[in-house]
């Protein structure tokens, strides 16, 4: 734990500055720093002893930054599309209502354990498919399949409610 704290104190600002320089976003830089140190802690047993910690940290930070930029790109595209489609925008507002979210949570709770876990790691924790595959010891294609099945089920439910 002392080594982790020392690494955080020594590299937190450097990683933040690196990501901020690349993205010009305080939000993304802060998220990347936080996720980098979470990954460092999760992967502490698999760090390479012969490779300097700062090199490994910046490698993790770079990958996290790329993942975050991809997520932001998808969010941006979604918002642009919803601005062009008022029906989709109104539908999304309805989905975000508490009642609908409760129903979705019940639908998800009724799914097989592995599918629920994969979905929750993706949506709640914001992990990439590759990260989920590593954590669960399954292939990324299996992760994609589970996510696809959850989304398909939620769409079926949503359309059954609105039709």
Token match 């941006």: residue?
76
The boundaries of every CATH 1.10.1740.10 domain in the chain are 1-84
- Return the structure tokens found at 154: 């939620």
Domain 1-84 belongs in CATH node 1.10.1740.10: yes
Helix%, strand%, coil% for the chain, nearest 5: 85, 0, 15
Instruction: Report the C-alpha gap between 10 and 148 in whole angstroms.
Output: 41
% pLDDT > 90, the chain: 13
Across the chain, mean pLDDT equals 80
Output the CATH code of domain 86-163.
1.10.10.10
- For residues 111 and 153, is the Cβ–Cβ distance under 8 A? yes
- In this predicted structure, the answer to whether residue 83 has a pLDDT above a threshold of 60 is no
Delimiting residues of CATH 1.10.10.10 domain(s) in the chain? 86-163
Reply yes or no on whether the pLDDT at 71 is more than 70.
yes
- Confidence class of residue 138 from pLDDT cuts 50, 70 and 90? very high
């Amino acid at each position: 734990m002392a080594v982790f704290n020392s690494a955080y104190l020594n590299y937190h600002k450097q990683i933040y500055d690196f990501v901020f320089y690349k993205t010009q976003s305080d939000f993304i830089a802060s998220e990347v720093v936080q996720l980098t140190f979470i990954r460092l802690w999760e992967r502490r047993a698999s760090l390479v002893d012969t490779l300097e910690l700062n090199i490994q940290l910046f490698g993790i930070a770079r990958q996290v930054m790329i993942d975050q930029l991809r997520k932001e790109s998808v969010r941006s595209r979604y918002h642009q599309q919803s601005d062009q489609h008022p029906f989709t925008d109104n539908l999304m507002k309805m989905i975000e209502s508490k009642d609908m979210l409760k129903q979705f949570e019940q639908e998800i709770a009724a799914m097989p354990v592995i599918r629920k876990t994969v979905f929750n790691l993706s949506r709640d924790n914001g992990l990439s498919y590759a990260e989920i595959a590593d954590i669960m010891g399954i292939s990324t294609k299996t992760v994609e399949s589970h996510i696809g099945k959850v989304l398909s089920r939620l769409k079926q439910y949503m359309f059954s409610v609105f039709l």
